[in-house]
Amino acid sequence: MDVELLRWPHEQERREDLRSQGLPRLLLVDPDQPPPVVTDPVEDWVRLPASDDDVQARVRTLLHRSGRPLEGRPTLDPDGVLRHGDAWVSLPPVEARLMSALLGRFGAVVSREQLARAGWPQGAPGRNALDVHMLRVRRRIAPLALVIRTIRSRGYLLEGVESGAALAARTSA
């Protein structure tokens, strides 16, 4: 995710650092605190507790404002072809539905229940079916520099894998 999430008002100093760098940031405002004054178009806030959907909607807006809304994000066409960068793979129908759910929340956790509903809209089979299909999807997307991480007791998270050259360039800058 290209948007930094900060607790407000606890991370005021970090907010200023990110502002000076021009990086997008979302302030997570504690329930008992007044909201911050926001004058930067790549900054927004949401009061806690906030749903994941609300946070993701604000993140997408900040990415759009920063001019980087879909850069580096994979896409899935109606025929089940997943594209990322210059590479692509074809996904069978169940795996395409699972991938669609993961892409809808790219960089955020998708629960097992959400994935089961997406993969099997008529009713989910047993727990092992989801595990088997997630293993197959992981294997298929590996050549696309994508990875699905298991977030214990929460679900799964789809994200891009940074190449060694990109990582070296970023860390040496």
Alpha-carbon distances of 49 from 30, 31, 32, 34, 118, rounded to whole Å = 8, 7, 11, 14, 26
- In three-state secondary structure terms, 26 is strand
The pLDDT, as a whole number, for residue 68 is 54
Q: The whole model's pTM is what?
A: 0.57
Domain boundaries, the chain: 4-66, 75-160
Tell me the backbone φ, ψ of residue 116, rounded to 5 degrees.
Answer: -60, -40
The pLDDT, as a whole number, for residue 157 is 92
Contact 31, 46 (CB under 8 A): no
DSSP calls for 132-163: HHHHHHHHHHGGGTEEEEEETTTEEEEEEPPP
Q: What is the mean pLDDT of each run of 10 residues along the chain (173 residues)?
A: 84 90 90 92 92 85 68 83 90 95 87 91 82 95 92 90 45 42
Which of the 8 DSSP states describes residue 162? Answer: P
Locate 40 and state its tokens: 């930067």
Write the CB contacts of 38 (distance below 8 Å, at least 6 apart in sequence). Answer: 27, 44, 45
The pLDDT, as a whole number, for residue 20 is 86
CATH of 75-160, one of 3.20.20.10, 2.30.30.240, 1.10.10.10, 3.30.70.20: 1.10.10.10
